[in-house]
Amino acid sequence: MLPSAAHPDLPTVLVVDDEVRSQDAIRRTLDEDFHVLTASSADAARSLLESQPVAVILCDQRMPGTSGVVFLKEVRARWPDTVRIVISGYTDSEDIIAGINDAGIHQYILKPWVPDHLLATVRDAAEAQGLQRGLARLDIALRTATPVLRQRAAQQLAQARSAFDFDRIERAPGSPLDAVCAMAARLARHELSVLVLGESGSGKELLARALHYASPRAGAAFVVENCAAMPDTLLESELFGHKRGAFTGAHDDHPGLFQRAHGGTIFLDEIGETSPAFQVRLLRVLQEGEVRPVGAARPVPVDVRVIAATHRDLEQRVRDGLFREDLYYRLATATLTVPPLRERPGDIAPIARRLLQDVGAELGRPGLQLADDALACLMAYPWPGNVRELRNEIARAVALGDGDTIVAATLSSRVLQGQAGRSRLAPTQGLPTTGTLAERLDAIEAVVLRETLLRHRWNKTRAAQELGLSRVGLRGKLQRFGLEG
């Protein structure tokens, strides 16, 4: 007998019993929670199983023709996912043993059964069947997904390597950064600690990130911590972790950044601002290759490459007794120096254009261009805050400007004046102090060009006359130094 299914999404239960009254009693007990089918013989039950999936089968043991255990043995072979339950008024131990051994019976329920017990038993059986099928699907999904996940991970790593490649560090041809990036690319392949020196905002973190993604550790985490942003106790907890109850507010175990960076790289920015007490703990981590979370009884091994950075003169701080000499030599296995923006004026134009693209997209104004007068003002300013200050200036101009071109009028007064802040600098501080003679002369020439252009409001004819150049010669120099608008 096949009743109409009022709830087709419910699990299906098949009741096999040669007594119609037993079928009806079981249906009334189960029909609110299940879609119930009934059959009076093994042959009728077999036809139903062949036509649709069944979650649970309740089968009487003693029926005319095929017995319940014999039929359920067939069900086990043909429909193994269906959970099998025997209902019988007899307690023959041989039947019970045969049912368990041959038919894989889930439960053996004796008549007269209790409705609540029967309902609970069938619910458990249906849940078990659903979990079993779910696990089987998950197993298949995991087996088929592993190559896909591996491929996606490889694609993401390739994208990260491309996004943070040394060539993506914006600069002009012949920039002093070329030599820095070339040296960093060679260091990236080796397991050496690197100390990055440079003024605030000059791009030390960008160089450190490029180091990581060019290294064999690129597939693991790159973790950043600014050591000047918090006191010792919080810095230790953040880097080394803490155990639950180690201090007030430590409600859960907290893995530190060294543990999160395991297998990868940790970038410790502004390392020169740390206290001598913290430096002792950090030195121990670097020497022993393990961290001890605050409140923990045992240390935790970590495998981490350390890249540190500072705007301080660490050698001077070592001489002044403010920085541990042994930690300095641990961190400075190799040293890279990022020159400030004023020492690489040719980089200002390409960096400004790149920042304009990025900031314009972030603020919903893509496709913006820099006018000649705005670029001249940017080139004439010394940028004591380096690339970070340049980005802020670009963001301000994008927010205040109208149209598709950023003009000089949208820049701040200090940038428009061009010399703002230089009165606070020594006369030679704006000139390069590193590089070859040719590189230093190029930097000086670029400064003269940009200041002349600014003074003549970007009038190239007047600027060329003052400098003793033809317009063609001036244009060639502007292109060479990235000053051409």
284 and 433 inside one domain: no
DSSP secondary structure letters along 280-294: HHHHHHHHHTEE--B
**Domain final residue pick, 317, 338, 359:** 338
Phi-psi region of 308 (alpha: psi -120 to 50; beta: other; left: phi over 0): beta
Is the Cα dihedral 194, 199, 200, 201 positive or negative?
negative
Would residue 1 count as lying in a domain?
Answer: no
Domain co-membership, 271 together with 203: yes
* Pair (67, 179) in one structural domain: no
Give the CA distances from residue 28 to residues 5, 25, 64, 136, 271, in Å, rounded to whole numbers and listed in that order.
14, 5, 24, 32, 75
Q: Which residues contact 456 (CB under 8 A, 6 or more apart)?
A: 462, 463, 466
Whether residue 262 sits in one domain with residue 369 = no
Answer with the one of 133, 151, 174 that is the final residue of a domain: 133
d(CA 89, CA 17) in angstroms, rounded, equals 12
442 & 396 share domain: yes
Question: What pLDDT sits at residue 424?
Answer: 36
Residues 273 and 196 in one domain: yes
CATH number at residue 245: 3.40.50.300
Are both 178 and 77 inside the same structural domain? no
Same domain, 318 and 400: no
Answer yes or no: is pLDDT of 425 > 60.
Answer: no
Q: What's the CATH number where 364 sits?
A: 1.10.8.60
The answer to the question of residue 147 being in a domain is no
Give the per-residue pLDDT at 162. Answer: 85
Domain stop point among 117, 133, 149: 133
- Which residues constitute the domain of residue 41? 12-133
Structure tokens given for 391: 């980005």
Residues 204 and 327 in one domain: yes
Inter-residue contact 474 to 467 (CB < 8 Å): yes
pLDDT higher than threshold 90 for residue 282: yes
**Domain assignment present for 222:** yes
155 located within any domain: no
Instruction: Express each pLDDT in 388-413 by its tens digit.
Output: 999 999 999 999 988 899 998 899 88
> Would you say residue 152 lies in a domain?
no
Residue scoring higher pLDDT (348 or 477): 348
**Residue 69 reports pLDDT greater than 60:** yes
Domain tally, the chain: 3
Separation CA 177–CA 179 (nearest Å): 5
| Geometric angle at alpha carbon 120, from 114 and 124, rounded to 5° | 145
CA torsion sign for 461, 463, 469, 474 is negative
* Length of the chain counted residue by residue: 485
Query: Tell me, what's the pLDDT at 289?
Result: 92
pLDDT digits 0-9 by tens, 166-184: 999 999 998 999 999 999 9
Same domain? 298 vs 356: no
Cβ atoms < 10 Å from Cβ of 363: 12
pLDDT number for residue 450: 76
Q: Which two tokens stand for residue 31?
A: 């029909």
Do 97 and 175 reside in the same domain of the chain?
no
Is 383 among the domain residues?
yes
List pLDDT tens digits, range 286-337.
999 999 888 888 889 999 999 999 999 999 999 999 999 999 999 999 999 9
Residue 377 falls inside a structural domain: yes
- Domain membership flag for residue 151: no
203 in the same domain as 300: yes
Q: What's residue 99's pLDDT?
A: 67
pTM higher than the cut 0.75: no
The CATH number given to whatever domain includes residue 65 is 3.40.50.2300
